[in-house]
Amino acid sequence: MTLSKRSIKGWFLSFFREVFVYHNSSLEFRAKLLAAMIATNQHMDECEIKILENIAKEIYPDDEARVDVLVRTTKEYVKKIIEKNGLELNELIKSINRELKEEKRFCEKVNIERLSRFLECSQGDEETQLTQTRILEYLQNEIEAYQPQ
């Protein structure tokens, strides 16, 4: 198995993101938002991965390294939730809420339209769609409450 330079750089930046990634807290916050939507499905398949990658490219159109770090970080959160490895969805949502309260500028990072794209991956799974819809509604209410005037 050969690793490309991009893959190695992405892994390195992801692993050391607190030190080497500019505005790491913003990237972490976005990863949490994306992970909350994906983890409700209790698995990550090609549909979620494709949407995640597209959203990451939209957020960071001129920075492949940040795209890679955002995707990797999101996958880390999702994996922890799905495998019940030290993180639960409710904890993640509480963390998002706490960060919205503390950092009002993060309200601008919440893009309901982008997040709602994950609903297409849960077609036919009413429980997952209901949970995702509730998360979207919750986020909408939170950004309305915390958004700087």
Handedness of CA 68, 103, 139, 96 (dihedral sign): positive
d(CA 14, CA 31): 12
| Biggest distance spanned by C-alpha atoms of the chain | 52
Q: Please give the Cα distance from 131 to 104 (Å, whole number).
A: 25
- pLDDT tens column, 102-113: 998 999 999 999
Name which of 12-26, 52-66, 122-136 the model is least confident about.
12-26
Taking each helix axis as running N to C, give the angle between helix 89-102 and helix 24-39, from 0 to 180 degrees, rounded to the nearest 10: 140
Q: Is the pLDDT of residue 84 over 90?
A: no
| Nearest C-alpha neighbor of 105 from the set 148, 145, 136 | 148
pTM for the full model? 0.83
CA distance 65 to 10: 6
Task: Report the pLDDT averaged over residues 89-111.
Answer: 93
With cut-offs at 50, 70 and 90, classify the pLDDT of residue 6.
low
Q: How confident is the model at residue 61 (pLDDT cuts 50, 70, 90)?
A: very high
